[in-house]
Structures are given as structure tokens and as C-alpha cells.
Structure 1
């Protein structure tokens, strides 16, 4: 459903009226379009040493001008000789992998603060730092954890569709590892439009960057469950756009819509109730029979049966658990037991912010979506031996047919309860999943990436 309010206050007289009245002023976000530049302007790079040089080199290879801290024009656009103004900053990138004490945060973060007024609409602020560990000296652990608190707070201060996110590196992962650069490119681009205040952890140096950044899934075979409509249909279309051969799966009752999605992506349709005990075997049989392989599985199918726990019956509870988590576990067991679920395979499951922070009337749903998070963390370890990954994406308020049926006031409040002050689109969830399904994310496993505009609910 279109957010008419955001469209109204994004420009012209509507924007002026909202500003005068002190109303929320969400803007239309910059989203990914194949072939477009990653950023609309240069990136200010804050940091020094080999790590900063490696990031500068990567930015340059992507066609992004990397301005260094201290340059005369880094903090604000300047007038050129012909009277034109240089472009605003598309991003601020802080390379903080070498910090050792909390005091080390002062200079780089204050430098970023001075540059914020020059950040373009839908700009990006990204930190690269080391993951805090219980093995760290206390001062080192404090400094590293401090980055997370600072970045999440800064993300709440940004305006005009700008976002702030971070990349956490394990101790032995170099800053130019494929998945670090893959995560950086994802977070800089319009693919991450509704990802805000989040961290991606790169645990290994595995993976490789695609030859064609617009086709990162070229040659992959991907299964998407719950693909007939809404988020599932968007996932199928996005994976296909990025080069994958898609098998669209949904229940027989959704057969007509499922066939349309499969036709749209030039893939195949598999009518299947995923709660069947042999669903995993059926999926493998279909993939091998049509394509000879299976590389990516996206567990998107899910249902809600909301009731206060005092009014919940066994049928409502058990059906949600069966579809949303038990079916995924059975399918994964079949995949992991098969020699045909290839090396470097990727599993991506759709969780929910309800599974992180809870939600009134959704004890069954929240239990199932929290279960998804626990499942991917445990499955990640089992896939590591074959170079595979398991991750989850947790959407917040996403504009779908279901949210369009919400009462007007409830829907409007839910839209504004995040730092971007608007609902996300199914495409935003699909972009995050497509990234996690790519080889450029092979060093990222066991992560839960929230696609929620930095929802005020939970972390």
C-alpha cells in the first residue's frame, strides 16, 4: 500500500507545511536500480594506516571518490570557479579497526560529526571495526563495544533518509576480505535503503566478489518458499534479477499466483505444503530434476494466528509453530543430509522484529520467529564445514496486503515508529536476502539482519 503521507511531505508545499507544523518528515528513500552509481556523491574516509588505504582503493575501484579527512573540501561543499557547488557527501566511512581505548573514539567520531551537515539525502554513515570479545583486555573491549553504541545513536540523529550501519570484523579477518567489501558495497548502495542502525559481523575471509556486481547470483539455483505474493514474490523477482534460476514454492491454493510469479522470473513453480514430512526431499527432487543443483534456500513462508495468550488455543499455537519454524527445521535436515546441497550453499530465513522484542498478542508468532534466529545460529556451524552460511533477515513494518488491512490509525503509528519514519517495502527485505545469498557474503554466517528502518522496538 502506498504511503501517501510520505509522498506528500517529501517535496514542495507539503514539505514546507510539515516543517512549519513540526510533523514527521519522512523522505522517499534512494533504492537500488541496476546500472546506477553506488553513491550520489563522494565518500569521506576517516581513518589512517593500511586498513584505510585498502578501503580507499576499494571505493576507487567502484567509481567512488574517496576524500580523506582533513582535505579542504571534506567537511562542506565548496564553490567552484564557475560558481557551481561540488556534490554533497554520499557517505562517511569510519575505519576504526585499530582503536584500543575508549579515548580513541573521540577524534574520528567528532570528525564525522563535523561532516554530517554535508551528507546528502539518503547518504550513508558506515563504521568498520573489530568485534568485541570476552578475550579482549577490558579497555579494548570497551572501545570496540563503544563503536556499536555510538553508531546506533548516530543513526537516530540522521535525517533525510540517511542511514548509519556498521561492519564488525573477527580478529583475523582483514579489512579487504571479500565479505567485508561485499558488506560495505551493500550498505553503501540503495539495496540497504531500509537497513538502519544495524551491524553485519564478518567471521571469516571466505567468499569472493562477483564479476558483475549487478548479477551477483549468476548461475545459482535458488528456492523461495511462500513465493506467491508480497515479500515472497519480491524475493523471487530480486533473486532472478540478480542472475539466479528461481524455484517458487507455495501451497496448492496459491497455485495461480505462484504460476504468475514463476512465469515473471522465468523460473519454475512447485506447489507444496512445506509442513509435509517429505517437503525437503520434494524440493531437492525438483531442483535436481530441473537444474541439477541447489545453491540457495530462502525460508519465507509463514503465517500468523494472533491472540492474547489467555485466549490462545492449541490449534492456533501449533499451526504457527509448524509452518514458521518446525517445517524449516525438517527441510534443513533433509538438505544437510544430502550430498546434492552444494558447497558454499546459503540458507536465509525470514524472522521478524517480533521475534527479537516481542509483540502483544503474538506469543506464538514471536516464539516461532525467535526460534528462526536460534535455528540459523546453530545451522551456521553445521554449514561451515562445506563453506555454506545460514542467516536470518528480520523485517519490521513492511507495506504488504496484510498491513494495508490494518486500521488507519494503527497503520500510521506503526509506519512512523522507526528512525526513517516510514514503512519499508517488500523489495527492501528482498535486497537484504539477495545479498546474504551471494558469495560476497560467504564470510557472514549466523547473523540476524534487521530490515526495519531502526525500529524503536528492541535493539
Structure 2
């Protein structure tokens, strides 16, 4: 990642100058390294609730030193603040103020995770006080994320009715948000609506035994995804257009996977992917719809070719492939528990000048994921979307310097993300540890100051 400003600010002179002038001060983020401890320091658990008790047990089991009351001299690597059971906004204050008193004691690259019940849950649909309290946790978490410093993040877990923090999907969400895998995720929420899921025996190999298909896998974010899934134990199938065949083959050969040169807009693309998995691997457990294109133009100058091609690749191809994967005659390959992740974009959330076609396509895949979720749930599977923000790629490297610098700095972490950051979020969402999260869109944007 070529970020001259970030490199300068990381120096002693740069730090002094940036601090004196009130300039952004990005720090090197703590990213996942296999075999590294979950946290590099103690964690403080606040709240005195059932979720707090579960958090303390889980963290202890993961080898983390846990404290349940603040010690003045300690630098905390993480704080888990639990608000489960609150039924009025008046009940929030005590734990929030305890959390606030800890913020100056947070270490570099710290994590804050709030835990509360889902404000959209049926149990509070007609309870204004309880819903107001739960929704209040959303606002405070997002605001706190803007206040975090030195690479720190703040995110939340929202528990569905009857779901405790010790449910596999909730525990998996907690571990992900505390880990280096979530380095570029901040101000976001993981809803865990069911008790489905399973924690891996080996946290460094959560996808062992799985077969994963990734489209657009030859380069950039796609190549990072396929490498990350392979690192986590999956056998990978890389799909990309025939013109990218040489690059695709090089990537998958490096990982011991197989390559399938294919135009995903073809009517039989889904059938061909299934047949490849059937004949070469005997199964298909994971699909990552990463392939996508841009054909930017102001709407006043948009033509049918630009509009149709973007929708065809980014949205319509996924609809056709998913239909094939969920068909009755695919059950010998897909079976139960298929996990799908589709690539959205913050442009699909907030819109972007000159990208009406792209934003429509990416907003569309978020709707696609939400509507397909019940079909996957009925078969023990899940589908979720990941919406990247400013990610350092070959494409963003070609953006004019000033525009690129603005894109890097207008988020709470004051820097661009990397393809690996997107890949880590996807690797979590396709794992059994995320089995309780379905139909959700997770932003990987450093809490970009656009959209919700």
C-alpha cells in the first residue's frame, strides 16, 4: 500500500507535526496473524449481565486475561460492554459511564464491543421504552467509534430473541470483532438472530474440509479472498473470465486449488460451476460473488450498454447462479449448510456521483442477500453481503492524488483498507462461527463518513 502521508505520520517528526496541526494520524493496524494471541493485553468486561458473564467465560477460554472492574494502572486491549436486559434508556447510563472512564486506558489498536438485544426484535415491537433503549446502544456505539484513537475500533453485537452471547454465532461474532481479522471494521453491528452455528476446533483453520468458489478471483480483492480462504483451510475454486486465465491459474496453483475460466453472465454459469465442483471436488460449501465491473458516467450521459453491462455482471448473474445452486438437482453437490457472501459497496449505501449504475447494482445485491436469506436458512445455510469502502487496489491507485487522499482520510481510521481486510470479513461470514448471522450487510470501510 503506497500511502506516503501515512508513512510520514508514522515517523517521529511526522507525528509531532500532525499533532500540532490537528491533522489525521493513522497508525499501522493490527491485522490477523495465524498463531498470534487473540488480544495483546487484558480485556475489561462491563455490565454485570448474563452476556457479561458469558463474555468473561469465553474470553478466559480463549486465553485472555479478564477483569470485571477497572484498575487505574492497566492498559486494556479490549472492553466488552454488555447492555442485555435493559428495558428503558435510563438503564444505559451506569455501564456507559464506566466505559467512558476506561477510554483513556485503551492500548493502541484496542477493541470495544457492545452487546445488546436487537432493537428490531419482535419482542419489543410494541414496547417504546425497551426499543428506545436498544436503539440507543446503536447510536452510542457508532459515536464511540468516531472517538476511538490509535487504530482502535468500536462495534456491536445485536442478539435476537432467545439468543445469548454463548450461542455459537454470537461467540463467533465476539471473537471476530476482538481479533485482528476486523482491523478495518468499525461502527458496525453483527446481528445474531439464531442459535445456529458452530465454533471451529482450530481457530486458525475454521474452513478446514470446505470447498469454496470465488468469482473474480484472478487479481485484487478476489485474489486476496481466495488466498485467505485457503489459509483458513478451504479447498478453493477460482472463477474468472477466460481473458484472465493465466493470472487465475497462477493464483489457484499457488494454493493447490482449481481454476474455472468462465463468463459469469452466461446462462449456464451456475450449472458449469456446479459441474466443476462435482467432478473435481465432490461438493461445494461456500460461494463468494466477488466479480464486478464499473462503467461510470453521469446519468445524463448514461447509455444502455453501460447500464446493462454493470447490472448484468454485478446483480443479474448472481440471481441466476444462486437459483442454480439452490435447485433440487444441485443437492448432490451443495447439500446442507451452503454459505454465500456477495460483494456490495458503500456506493450502494450512500450513492456516489457518476455511479448510478454501479450503486444500483450494489444496492441490489444487498436486497438480494436479504431476500435470499430465508431460503438459505431453511437449508441450514446463510447469505450475507460485505460492503467495502476505500480499499487500496490497482483501481484506486489510478484515482487523482487529491481525490485519493480524501478517500483515505474520511473514515474513523484515517486510512484506506487493504484487500485482506475485505477477505477477512468474508472468511468470517462463510465460516460456521457466523451461522447465526443471515441476510446482513457488513461494511468494511473504517467507518467511512458516508451512508449509515
Same fold (TM over 0.5): yes
Match in the other structure for 2:81 = 94
For 1:17 and 1:51, the matched residues in 2 are separated by: 43
Alignment of 1:266 onto 2:256: yes
For 2:3 and 2:335, the matched residues in 1 are separated by: 42
CA RMSD in angstroms, aligned pairs only: 0.9
- Extract unaligned runs of 5+ from structure 2: none
Look up the SS of the partner of 1:440 in the other structure. Answer: helix
Look up the SS of the partner of 2:163 in the other structure. Answer: coil
Structure 2 counterpart of 1:132, from 92, 109, 119: 119
Look up the SS of the partner of 1:186 in the other structure. Answer: helix
For 1:410 and 1:181, the matched residues in 2 are separated by: 39
User: Residue 49 of structure 2 contacts residue 82 of structure 2 at CA under 8 Å; is this kept in 1?
Assistant: no
Shift in Å, 1:207: 1.0
Alignment of 1:341 onto 2:334: yes
For 2:110 and 2:178, the matched residues in 1 are separated by: 8
Structure 2 counterpart of 1:331, from 321, 340, 364: 321
- Give 4+ residue runs of structure 1 displaced > 6 Å after superposition: none
Deviations 1:152-195 (A, max 9, x none): 00100111000000000101112200010000000000000000
Match in the other structure for 2:98 = 111
For 1:342 and 1:26, the matched residues in 2 are separated by: 45
Residue correspondence of structure 1 range 357-372 to structure 2 within 5 A: 357-372=350-365
For 1:323 and 1:352, the matched residues in 2 are separated by: 15
Alignment of 1:56 onto 2:56: yes
Structure 2 counterpart of 1:317, from 307, 320, 327: 307
Match in the other structure for 1:418 = 411
Greater shift in the superposed pair: 134-143 or 193-202: 134-143
Task: With the length of structure 2 as denominator, give the TM-score of the two structures.
Answer: 0.97
Shift in Å, 1:23: 1.4
Shift in Å, 1:136: 4.2
For 2:49 and 2:361, the matched residues in 1 are separated by: 45
Deviations 1:367-422 (A, max 9, x none): 00000000000111111111100000000000000000011111001100101111
Residue correspondence of structure 1 range 139-158 to structure 2 within 5 A: 139-158=129-148
Residue correspondence of structure 1 range 6-405 to structure 2 within 5 A: 6-69=6-69, 71=70, 73=71, 76-77=72-73, 88-133=75-120, 135-337=125-327, 338-339=330-331, 340-405=333-398
Greater shift in the superposed pair: 332-341 or 270-279: 332-341
Greater shift in the superposed pair: 187-196 or 1-10: 1-10
User: Residue 49 of structure 2 contacts residue 83 of structure 2 at CA under 8 Å; is this kept in 1?
Assistant: no
For 2:9 and 2:50, the matched residues in 1 are separated by: 44
For 2:252 and 2:446, the matched residues in 1 are separated by: 30
- Extract unaligned runs of 5+ from structure 1: 78-85
Q: Count residues in correspondence.
A: 446
Look up the SS of the partner of 2:305 in the other structure. Answer: helix
Task: With the length of structure 1 as denominator, give the TM-score of the two structures.
Answer: 0.96
Shift in Å, 1:49: 3.5
User: Residue 7 of structure 1 contacts residue 28 of structure 1 at CA under 8 Å; is this kept in 2?
Assistant: no
